[in-house]
Structure 1
Amino acid sequence: MLKIPIIDLAIFRKSDIKSQQAIAKEIYDACHKIGFMYLRNSGISKDLIAQVFSHSKSLFNLSLAAKQKLAWKNELSNIGYVGIERERLDPNQPGDLKEAFNFNKAELLTLQPPANEPEIFVFYQACTELANKILQAFALALELPEYFFTIRHNQQNHTLRLLHYPPLQTPPKPGQVRAGEHSDYGSITLLFQDNVGGLEVQTTAGEWIAAPTIPDTVIVNTGDLMQRWTNDVFCSTKHRVMIPHDQQLERSRYSIAFFCHPNDDTEIACLETCQKERAPIYPPILAGEYLLSRLQATY
């Protein structure tokens, strides 16, 4: 069965081109074959990640009334609190058994509640730097100019999402899970998760495999816009969070997702270097329009 590879990003940071090309090839293979990878030496400190998880827990421990005052309002802003079952990632199933807080850069810069912890903004910036490094590796792997992708993400139109999957007090509805089967919408996603588990990834053969926490790594996956950009050379892989069938059922699960999106006015059209083996599959689309359409279908 196909495994999710573990890739050492420290080697890519070396100045010699041979080291960079070797890692870019590993990243290319991961994105092409499964769309997921674990990255070691991400450059984000363990202490900072722990601080954000701690702040996340304190936010979700607020009363429901307090959280509802910060409620997510619409797809255009896509910020605020999302209650349990509010989101339905798989449109054919009941709402997801999770709650979330979405943040964008503007909200973090003003440090308005609930984003009034400076560590969250520092973390957002650290995730942005890591995403840019991955995008540089993508450019090298796809025979593009080094900053082809990063300049198309320079408005930092990214979303930081804190997630909480509460313990189950009552049996779920038929077909209900913690996060329904879905692919992500943007370029790439960075995922930090605790050790409760439940994340599963679908291989190209249609098998579901576990993506457990591996200490000192970040999970990275490619999203829909990167799949469109690369003409299916990189795949946007379906994944889900299942309900455990052991004592983990009684525990909260926490994760942090950083959704990296291109600038809204970026045209996502098939790259010339990805047309060697097949004609363009998808018509061009603006990144902002695509994101809005997917959010409208989800809520």
Structure 2
Amino acid sequence: MSLVPSVDLTDFTSGDSVRKEKFIKEIGKAFEEIGFVALSGHFLSEELVEDLYSEIKQFFGLPQETKDSYEIAGIGGQRGYTSFGKEHAKGRKEGDLKEFWHFGQYVEDNPKLESEYPDNVTVKELPKFNAIGKETYKMLEKTAKYVLRALALHLDLEETYFDEYIRNGNSILRPIHYPPITSEPKNAVRAAAHGDINLITLLMGAHGKGLQVMNHKGEWVDAIARPDQLMINVGDMLSRLTNNKLKSTIHQVVNPPKELWGTSRYSIPFFMHPISEMSLNCLENCVDEANPKGFEDTTAGEFLHERLIELGLIKK
């Protein structure tokens, strides 16, 4: 069974101070020790999850030329479709064995950001696809807001510290399709070992084996969530901000055993990004003699740009 701890967000939102404190301690400990947690009590309904999976399976089942018409040049894959094998992990040449779609932010009351972010792409063949994607995006963003409020309290910050930075943030919802494997992959896996760029990632579809997390001993352990849970992990931005107090853990999606090569895998991560101006300079209360400052000063926007170049998604 998964070695990743489980927590329940309704403890935090219950209005009961004892339960709230319990949640803060549990998620803080998990993110300091392994960087991953399985979370129930989120804001996604079962019906919404089922609808989203139905829509994305229909999309990835469309003819390749139809999908290719939604691959938008010049935006680093930030919106719409990215075809099979295009993305690779930092430091690797082999493309991951996946294709994916990106839903981005639905900006409210900020014309400047609205002009900066690329527009979401409408799939005309599937009339419900975009509405269901937007609703899922909003519910995951709401879940992430409360998780970050708990982490702010764990870090002795004001509870709403992150709120202003994540409102209209550059977050991405990424439905991924790992197609059936038809021949022995040459050095390629479904998603090579990597750390996430963002503040936190909320992952739908971590049921069954495939996702693995590297523990502090350098061992790969399976990360498996129940069907009603999201898998949540710390990204590199939050790790930098907290001077590695909260751990951004290396993880991968391995190829299934040969008898399951004929099956597709779907997973849907939500990458919670702040606005570009957010400072990622190490928090003063996370730096001391025992833990000297480990990262150079930067902003979320600068850090994201640097990493997208490393991933091969944008050119220098």
TM-score, shorter chain, exceeding 0.5? yes
Residues 269/75 of structure 1: CA separation in 2 closer, same or farther (3 Å cut):
farther
1:52-73 deviation digits (Å, cap 9, x = unpaired): 1111101101111111111143
Question: What's the RMSD between the two structures over aligned residues?
Answer: 2.1
Counterpart-to-counterpart distance in 1, 2:234 and 2:206: 21
* Contact 1:108–1:121 (CA under 8 A) maintained in structure 2: no
1:262-273, aligned counterparts within 5 Å?
262-273=274-285
**Deviation of residue 113 (structure 1)?**
2.2
* Contact 1:156–1:263 (CA under 8 A) maintained in structure 2: yes
* Contact 1:35–1:234 (CA under 8 A) maintained in structure 2: yes
Q: Provide the residue aligned with 2:112 in structure 1.
A: none
Counterpart-to-counterpart distance in 2, 1:193 and 1:25: 26
Which 5+ residue runs of structure 2 have no aligned equivalent?
Answer: 107-116
* Contact 1:75–1:295 (CA under 8 A) maintained in structure 2: no
User: In the alignment, does 2:239 pair up with 1:220?
Assistant: no
Residues 249/196 of structure 1: CA separation in 2 closer, same or farther (3 Å cut):
farther
Residues 38/72 of structure 1: CA separation in 2 closer, same or farther (3 Å cut):
farther
* Contact 1:111–1:118 (CA under 8 A) maintained in structure 2: no
Give the counterpart of 2:287 among 261, 275, 279: 275
Q: Provide the residue aligned with 2:198 in structure 1.
A: 186
Query: What is the letter of the counterpart of residue 200 of structure 2?
Result: I
Query: What is the letter of the counterpart of residue 213 of structure 2?
Result: V
Counterpart-to-counterpart distance in 1, 2:291 and 2:44: 38
Tell me the secondary structure at the aligned position of residue 248 of structure 2. coil
Q: Provide the residue aligned with 1:15 in structure 2.
A: 15
TM-score (structure 2 length as normaliser): 0.89
Residues 195/248 of structure 1: CA separation in 2 closer, same or farther (3 Å cut):
farther
Q: Provide the residue aligned with 1:259 in structure 2.
A: 271
Identity across aligned pairs (percent)? Answer: 33
1:101-142 deviation digits (Å, cap 9, x = unpaired): 111124998672268531111111001100000000001111
TM-score (structure 1 length as normaliser): 0.93
Q: Provide the residue aligned with 1:295 in structure 2.
A: 308
Counterpart-to-counterpart distance in 2, 1:214 and 1:253: 16
Q: Provide the residue aligned with 1:160 in structure 2.
A: 173
Counterpart-to-counterpart distance in 2, 1:103 and 1:116: 11
Moved more, 231-240 or 89-98: 89-98
Which 5+ residue runs of structure 1 have no aligned equivalent?
Answer: none
Q: Provide the residue aligned with 1:118 in structure 2.
A: 131
Query: What is the letter of the counterpart of residue 126 of structure 1?
Result: M
* Contact 1:109–1:121 (CA under 8 A) maintained in structure 2: no
Counterpart-to-counterpart distance in 2, 1:123 and 1:58: 17
**Deviation of residue 156 (structure 1)?**
2.8
Residues 7/45 of structure 1: CA separation in 2 closer, same or farther (3 Å cut):
same
1:194-233, aligned counterparts within 5 Å?
195=207, 197-233=209-245
Runs of 4+ in 1 over 6 A off after TM superposition: 107-111
* Contact 1:197–1:213 (CA under 8 A) maintained in structure 2: no
Moved more, 224-233 or 65-74: 65-74
Q: Provide the residue aligned with 2:109 in structure 1.
A: none
1:7-156, aligned counterparts within 5 Å?
7-75=7-75, 78-106=78-106, 112-113=122-123, 116-156=129-169
Residues 205/84 of structure 1: CA separation in 2 closer, same or farther (3 Å cut):
same
